[in-house]
Amino acid sequence: MSDGTKKPTLHLVGEKMETCELDRAKMSLMNPKVIHEKVEERTIDEMAKKVIEHCLQEGIETIWDRSEMQEPHCKWCSTGLSCSRCTMGPCRIIPERHRDRGVCGADADLIVARNLLDTLATGAASHSDHGREIVETLLLVGKGEGAGYRITDSKKLCAIAEEYNIPTDREVNEVAHDLALALLEEFGTIKGELGLCKRAPDATYAIWKEAGILPRGIDREIVEAMHRVHMGVGAHYGNMLLHGLRTALADGWGGSMMGTDVSDILFGTPTPCESLMNLGVFREDQVNITLHGHNPMLSEMIVTAAEGEKMLALAKKYGATGINLIGLCCTGNELLMRRGIPMAGNHFNQELVIATGALEAMIVDYQCIFPSLPRTASCFHTKIISTSPKAIIPGSYYVEFSPENATEAAEVIVRTAVENFRNRDPAKVFIPGKPVAVNAGFSVEAITAALGGTLQPLVDAIASGKIRGAVGIVGCNNPKIKHDFGHVTLAKELIKHDILCVETGCAAVASGKAGLLTPDAAFLAGDGLKAICKAVGIPPVLHMGSCVDCSRILVLLANIANILGVGIHQLPVAGAAPEWYSQKAVAIGSYFVASGVYTVLGPMPNISGSPAVVDLLTNGLEDVVHARFAVEPDPVKAADLIIAHIEEKRKALGI
Ligand code: SF4
Ligand code: MSK
């Protein structure tokens, strides 16, 4: 935690960035046909198309331009066959030149496995560090020091406290205090196993025990992963990757699950809500502020500050009719789920929001934030405001945020945005159209409540075949796949075949922009799923939250498996990450598979240099955790794989 006693102030980090102008002539962008082709190649998001076209015409650099500039990617790095772990190297495996070992003697399998474990541990660390910050805030509230924060869902607080045998017949703050300490202890516990893993069905838990991958502590597994990737420690690729599964479980059933649960305790467990989505959520007559990143601790406070009379009066003083808060990526998902705040989009919309010319400030915490955003912003009046000591961005304005100074910091930030309204250049404003309606807020509790207080109707619908199964579609955007095409095509194919989709992160936002997150989208579903959606009044694609909220999917699966008395691996379910890019997505995919969920990836991980590693992940893991990965960039073919898998599982269950 940072020193919250300092009064929050705003200052520029380093120098103002130079602009990010493209050399339009060199890139043939004077030719409208070239621009049109590029736009169509880049995205299926209709609002994004208009803004990308605008960027190309104006010469504003975006993710797709930088991706083109990086082509061709290094073939050793792409296949996982390069290592820069120590200064005897860097090394590359080049079999055709008889370079089949690094200087230390590591072969292709080990180099690939080490790189993958490193990536996975980074992802697990990111989620879990986020989770820890939320739990630390709960501790402050428990101590009576969390000014501005409070317990919003005391029922959930007590339910989780009971899982930890913490007495609940007393003041909520006392319960919060003891629960926070119990959860913080899980990061370095010496009990030998994580408490939240007991939420898994007995059969799943037994598989973890048998395979030796039951996580012993969150920090412990991540630290051990980093130890194992040091030169001269891990030498067996399979042994390394089994530890990867244990590290991933520590994230999914540990750090991420805490991030979700404690956010619910502090800010409220999501309930179904309606809102708006896409780049059309900008308001020409209002101060527009986007909230980007992952952690709801800051954004919740920004909402409170922006809703206050003082800031509204200031906005009016500068000629705006109000303050329009807009979510992006997973901070946006958190705010949409709990507060119904509109969202501009997902990962690849983050530069496009600046290019609307109508953005006064983008407030960021951490993860998935392009370090180049201040360059993009330098073409406009937009201020990028970074807030985390872990993620200070050169060229941004910085206001140090901590739970102790949250209220003051939020006020400084909102004031900065409001005062920037007068610097907006109306000639540069380009709001591409109108937003679409979305329904969100489908926590496990909300789904259970919608079904009448029990998941039994869902289980019955699966057993009767009205719903053939369920798929968690998660993850990011990646320039190797047309923006949103993977997510939306896969979801449409699956619901057409009566498979319910539950989504998080940028996948859920892609579906939202494509109109799949409304009950009306049930017309795209098969007859069985359509009937259920109509009867319950839900969309065929359910928005379950941010990327840490993939843990909600684990809990949903555990609850369904417990009703049936089976392990998660026996359920007719699957996971998919059609456009994943991040280290966190590697951790998520790995905890899905380790939990027994067959998972199809869109982009190939950087592992193809080791056929042995590929075989272990796509076949061998069946013998260990009864699930495996598949890789299929074509979302229609990915749907075929998933449908076949679900039918196989149904047959095995006799349904
Ligand atoms: Fe090369 Fe081995 Fe050092 Fe990696 S750890 S850089 S393979 S010597
Ligand atoms: S924001 S991790 S791009 S889902 Fe969670 Fe989106 Fe992936 Fe980041």
Instruction: Return the ligand 2 atom nearest residue 294 CA.
Output: 5
What is the predicted pLDDT for the residue at 217? 97
Give 232 Cα–ligand 1 centroid separation in angstroms.
9
Mean pLDDT value of segment 104-119: 98
φ/ψ of 492, rounded to 5, equals -65, -40
What is the predicted pLDDT for the residue at 310? 95
Q: What is the pLDDT of residues 564-609, one digit of tens each?
A: 999 999 999 999 999 999 999 999 999 999 999 999 999 999 999 9
Give 218 Cα–ligand 1 centroid separation in angstroms.
28
Ligand positioned closest to the Cα atom of 577: 2
| CA 118 to centroid of chain Cα atoms | 19
Instruction: Return the ligand 1 atom nearest residue 91 CA.
Output: 1
Give CA separation, 192 vs 46, 121, 227, 555, 630, in Å. 51, 19, 19, 22, 32
Mean pLDDT value of segment 363-376: 97
Going along the chain from its start, the domains and CATH numbers come out as 108-265 (1.20.1270.30), 273-428 (3.40.50.2030), 444-653 (3.40.50.2030)
C-beta separation of 8 from 405 below 8 A: yes
Helix then strand count (H, E) for the chain reads 27, 17
Instruction: Return the ligand 2 atom nearest residue 505 CA.
Output: 4
C-beta separation of 252 from 221 below 8 A: no
Mean pLDDT value of segment 17-30: 86
What is the predicted pLDDT for the residue at 18? 76
Give CA separation, 221 vs 188, 195, 228, in Å. 9, 15, 10
On average, the pLDDT of the chain sits at 96
What tokens does 334 get? 């958190």
Mean pLDDT value of segment 275-288: 98
What is the C-alpha to C-alpha distance for residues 651 and 641, in angstroms, rounded to an integer?
A: 16
Task: Give percent above pLDDT 90 in the chain.
Answer: 95
Ligand 1-lining residues (CB < 6 angstroms): 83-86, 88-91, 102-104, 106, 111, 231
What is the C-alpha to C-alpha distance for residues 296 and 544, in angstroms, rounded to an integer?
A: 15
Instruction: Return the ligand 1 atom nearest residue 102 CA.
Output: 7
Give 68 Cα–ligand 1 centroid separation in angstroms.
30
Q: Which of 82, 84, 88, 230 to mutate to test the pocket of ligand 1 (most atoms within 8 A of CB)?
A: 88
Ligand positioned closest to the Cα atom of 110: 1
Q: Which of 119, 347, 503, 549 to mutate to test the pocket of ligand 2 (most atoms within 8 A of CB)?
A: 347
C-beta separation of 210 from 232 below 8 A: no
The β-bridge partners of 223 are: none
Core vs surface per residue 522-551: b (16+ CB within 10 A) or e:
bebbbebbbbbbeebebbbbbbbbbbbbbb
Q: Which of 82, 94, 104, 107 to mutate to test the pocket of ligand 1 (most atoms within 8 A of CB)?
A: 104
Q: What is the pLDDT of residues 184-205, one digit of tens each?
A: 999 999 999 999 999 999 999 9
Q: What is the pLDDT of residues 391-447, one digit of tens each?
A: 999 999 999 999 989 999 999 999 999 999 999 999 999 999 999 999 999 999 999
What is the C-alpha to C-alpha distance for residues 640 and 629, in angstroms, rounded to an integer?
A: 15
Ligand 2-lining residues (CB < 6 angstroms): 294, 329-330, 346-347, 368, 475-476, 505-506, 546-547, 582, 584-585
What tokens does 405 get? 């100074």
Q: Which of 85, 99, 109 to mutate to test the pocket of ligand 1 (most atoms within 8 A of CB)?
A: 85
What tokens does 402 get? 């901590």
DSSP code of residue 74: P
Tabulate helix, strand, coil % of the chain (nearest 5): 55, 10, 35
Question: What DSSP string describes 203-241?
Answer: HHHHHHHHHT---S-HHHHHHHHHHHTSTTS---HHHHH
Instruction: Return the ligand 1 atom nearest residue 83 CA.
Output: 4
Kindly give, in sequence order, each residue whose CB lies less than 8 Å from that of residue 350, ignoring residues fewer than 6 positions away. 292, 328, 329, 362, 368, 369, 370, 373
Give 77 Cα–ligand 1 centroid separation in angstroms.
14
| CA 48 to centroid of chain Cα atoms | 20
Q: What is the pLDDT of residues 512-561, one digit of tens each?
A: 999 999 999 999 999 999 999 999 999 999 999 999 999 999 999 999 99
Kindly give, in sequence order, each residue whose CB lies less than 8 Å from that of residue 145, ignoring residues fewer than 6 positions away. 404
| CA 181 to centroid of chain Cα atoms | 26
What tokens does 234 get? 């891990």
CA-wise closest residue to 443 among 536, 345, 550, 516 = 550
Core vs surface per residue 84-104: b (16+ CB within 10 A) or e:
ebeeebebbbeeeeeeeebeb
Q: Positive or negative, the Cα torsion across 46, 582, 344, 51?
A: negative
Give 85 Cα–ligand 1 centroid separation in angstroms.
6
Cα angle value 523/524/528 (rounded, 5°):
75
Instruction: Return the ligand 2 atom nearest residue 368 CA.
Output: 8
Ligand positioned closest to the Cα atom of 347: 2
Which helix (H) or strand (E) is 11 found in, with range?
A: strand 11-12
- pTM greater than 0.85 (yes/no): yes
Cα angle value 489/491/493 (rounded, 5°):
70
Q: Which of 92, 93, 111 to mutate to test the pocket of ligand 1 (most atoms within 8 A of CB)?
A: 111
Q: What is the pLDDT of residues 629-651, one digit of tens each?
A: 999 999 999 999 999 999 999 99
What is the C-alpha to C-alpha distance for residues 306 and 295, in angstroms, rounded to an integer?
A: 18
Q: Which residue carries 């890019």 as its tokens?
A: 581
Give 350 Cα–ligand 2 centroid separation in angstroms.
11
Query: Whose C-alpha lies nearest to ligand 1, atom 2?
Result: 104
C-beta separation of 636 from 493 below 8 A: yes
C-beta separation of 88 from 104 below 8 A: yes
The pLDDT-based confidence of 289 (bands split at 50, 70, 90) is: very high
The pLDDT-based confidence of 1 (bands split at 50, 70, 90) is: very low
CA-wise closest residue to 541 among 256, 319, 277 = 277
Query: Whose C-alpha lies nearest to ligand 2, atom 7?
Result: 476
CA-wise closest residue to 60 among 362, 372, 359, 328 = 372
Instruction: Return the ligand 1 atom nearest residue 111 CA.
Output: 7
The pLDDT-based confidence of 5 (bands split at 50, 70, 90) is: low
Give CA separation, 614 vs 123, 479, 597, 617, in Å. 20, 23, 17, 5
Give 323 Cα–ligand 2 centroid separation in angstroms.
26
Give 17 Cα–ligand 1 centroid separation in angstroms.
37
Q: Which residue carries 């924060």 as its tokens?
A: 149
Q: What is the pLDDT of residues 457-496, one digit of tens each?
A: 999 999 999 999 999 999 999 999 999 999 999 999 999 9
Q: Which of 77, 91, 115, 230 to mutate to test the pocket of ligand 1 (most atoms within 8 A of CB)?
A: 91
Number of neighbours of residue 266 by Cβ within 10 angstroms? 24
Q: What is the pLDDT of residues 116-174, one digit of tens each?
A: 999 999 999 999 999 999 999 999 999 999 888 999 999 999 999 999 999 999 999 99
Ligand positioned closest to the Cα atom of 130: 2
C-beta separation of 440 from 367 below 8 A: no
C-beta separation of 632 from 641 below 8 A: yes
What is the C-alpha to C-alpha distance for residues 299 and 294, in angstroms, rounded to an integer?
A: 9
Give the residue ranges of DSSP H helices in 392-542: 406-419, 444-450, 456-464, 485-496, 505-513, 527-536
